[in-house]
Amino acid sequence: MARILIVEARFYAHLNDMLVAGARAELEAHGHTVEVLTVPGALEIPGAISLAAEAELYDAYVAIGVVIRGETYHFEIVAGESARAIMALTMDGIAIGNGILTVENEEQALVRADPAQKDKGGEAAKAALALLSLQERFG
């Protein structure tokens, strides 16, 4: 049994509810314990994971959020920098599944957040468990 922390950027609550449900279902189906930590936006997720990893309380992490393009360049920053920082943490050996949706509109987000459709939350949970398994194999 592993200890998993879901770090969610609760920018769109109704979408996060579906993503977190999908991730939680996947993790609990494998007998793991799950905690959820909420931050304001996707740009805060990497920092929160970094802080939690310092405490060595969890074995793996799932990043959950939704970034929907607006009128300005800020979408590129939020989407790109959160992904880049999460990738940097994984390259440091932290097992993280990235379930941050980066989409053009809410319709695209709904399809990907819904556990009965593309279930990107569950997919991110699977990715976190895959990296944790590799840590155990190569650690």
Ligand X SMILES: CC(=O)[C@@H](O)COP(=O)(O)O
Binding-site ranges for ligand LW54GNZ2 (CB under 6 A): 9, 11, 40-44, 65-68, 78
Clarify whether 32 is annotated catalytic. no
Cα(16)–Cα(23) distance, rounded to whole angstroms? 10
Q: Is 14 in the site for ligand X (CB under 6 A)?
A: no
71 binds, among ligand X, ligand LW54GNZ2, none (CB under 5 to 8 A by kind): ligand X
- Coil, strand, or helix at residue 58? coil
Check residue 56 and give left, alpha or beta (phi > 0: left; psi -120 to 50: alpha): left
Size of the site for ligand X (CB under 6 A): 8
Cα(6)–Cα(9) distance, rounded to whole angstroms? 10
- Counting runs of H as helices and runs of E as strands, what totals does the chain give? 5, 4
Binding mask 54-93 toward ligand X (x if CB under 6 A, else -) reads -------------xx-xxx-xx--x---------------
| Closer by beta carbon to ligand X, 63 or else 68 | 68
Please name the residue that has the structure tokens 């932290």.
94
- Give catalytic residues, as residue numbers: 74
* Residue numbers at the binding site for ligand X (CB under 6 A): 67-68, 70-72, 74-75, 78
